Structure 1
């Protein structure tokens, strides 16, 4: 029998045994090495079922939101910024360790991106304060902490003053809202005391009870209920009731017209002048008007939105467009001269012409009617006088001074002056007091923003261009419901005294003041908030 010897495993087996085993998941379960086929119910009961607890734990871990100790869903707990100094050593710059700091960092990043696109104003105190705070954290500016703190101090004061102004505005809005609710309650109480509305008492009490719940006079349900009550009672109209309510009433009502009211005497003179101009226009049109002049008439009709040429000669602020009047009169003189020559030429050949070849009888009748008008020459004289006075005014205007001899303050544009004023806390508060604020949907009305911009420019500059822009923007903005009631006192003063100047170019001075006086009277005021000594008496104008 052969002697036994020790078993020596092969090198391949040893290598396979020395290989590291793969890491097993602690949550997974061992699979059976070989599938078992149970033969009886007893064997089935002995099979171990998987424990559902690890699966529930995994699902719960996936569904749960990240805790406060991480910044986002990725599980990042902190973000740090480091930089190399001049010697090559790393130094700490800043870090984000919680969600509040991450949210603040994202907001700052958005504002900086908006500034790079030109959408963010770098002169805003909040923006500049944010930039200074970031500079103070940077170790590169460690030797400039005192200077940065000195720069930050006035910014904080401006921010606090702005917050105080905003609080005052919010308080005024709240008071106005409460005043509107009180007015509505008084109105409903008067309806309850009316004997003729006894059969509507339940409806009125229901509205009065729900008004406290609505807590607003511009609530849609309240306005709808008041409309139904008005239809049933036939009493005060909804528009009249709305005009007595909160000035922030969020409904449309009949706005005051933007046309200027003038005295009956001036109105009669303007009507005569307009009639004469209209006759001249008809005459030129029948006699073959110049195409260029006809195109100007058409353009004027499109801009003003009327087919009456007599009203087209007036600009938006009620002033006559003298250039177009002068061209019309020149065309009229040329047409009249040409027609006179033609009549003198046709006198010799009139007997040889047939009735069909003679002049248009309708045109001849119009010419005769205009020429027989005894006031035609008077109307033309008025037009000529206006043109002569305007030419004299233009000819007396001196040439512009040499810019090199003017002080630097006189060379500053209105936009630069406005930026300088915005950097001064005192002027900034004054500018905010000029702003007209309305509730939605009228807060973004296309006529509101130009009016606020015109008020800002009128605050820093006083010239004829600013006066005209302010007046035209006011005429458009006053059609917004609730605007007149919400114009601040400072804005009323600028409006009034900008139109009260006795400049030669301010020809409609008294007409503008009469319109402003009527608008002020509509909100219970006798005149501008600041009364000046020796002011303009509109009633005597």
Structure 2
């Protein structure tokens, strides 16, 4: 049975929480409303055209006429209110004002929702109306302030119609803090708690950034939306600005652009057909219920903290394949996973000694006297200088030399030494990567080198899984090189290079490891030139012409 509610706070709460703009209730009046000019026509206004009445005023007059005819109590309150407005009675002439929920058809008795009697009640109601007015006139009407939310939730708690939802409303109120309260809570946090709080906030915003990147990388995303998302991602890198009105305005513009595109509508329909967010939420709830009901089904008593953490990472959807590949590599020596090469990189010591002896025994030739030139040479020079097409020939020779020099100076085409074959190494070098990492982490010199290699980004990007994987791959590449390590390092780099500020945070040692891990020849590196081209482009993007250690300064015979 429908009823017309004349209760201001509850209607405003429903309007704010639903984030819509419904029609204002015709009975939603302030305590002392303004006087309506009814039948107040003078000679000066007799010929004037009456202003156009809005739909709200027409509904108000129609419902007011019906309410005055049905309810004597409402008629009495209305007459007293008008007398106060006209100055016929003082503001304190009546004892109280009741907000009543009334059924206009008269089938349900009136129910008192709120009583305004004391000065405190009047101040509270005035404050509520002022907050609503400020909210309606604000820059973002769809985002009510925390103070207004708390006031409206308090009114719902006092409303007898919501008596069954007292616990839920009280919980909502307890979780709604003002800006001053939030600042006070942050000031009372310990450094460890503050770091955990910042990490949790950064993780949420990193998830938001990853969602935008997935939309950009999606093959079916329209080009216009990809460009808009890329500009939006590059603009909003600081997660502390996410609460600004400008951020919300940019986000709404992208939403309007996306929903107006037919291709995006098709992708959205296909996503909803597969279950959408409901499927992800169901998986999360299933994991939470399993942890709550039977934690022994996931964890064993003898599992340490690291093992439990790995299990949780595996269940919440991180890169299982990448983690499994690193774990399998940690217990394998550097020779495992490397195909047998078709060449023998062992240097020929006898040939080297023979060349060195010839170099020592060679006698230096006598320097020719510049003043005494060979007559045949002089005649040949004169003949060349007398050629009529000599400038054209010199220009052609210069063009050919420029092409040769360009190929020689191209870092992506430069011939690099091949990776050594681990099967020819001494057995003392064939230790597992986990053993090498253990030794390196207990040596101060290696610890300092590993810290220089580690990538640390600013929030919120420092919690990205791709950064953690890349740091692990760098550590493996530092302690030893193999085909598997080079492949893992390149895969982790391709994922991490898309994160903002990542390329600018790479140290020179990290760039050298990346470059020379892809520059060497190894059996499964068929895309060597493409990898070097990508690395060279990234180096130029951060203001470097090439790897920090120039390949031309290296001696291949010493590698």
User: If the TM-score is normalised by the length of the shorter chain, which range does it land in?
Assistant: under 0.3
What TM-score do you get using the length of structure 1 for normalisation? Answer: 0.25
Larger radius of gyration: 1
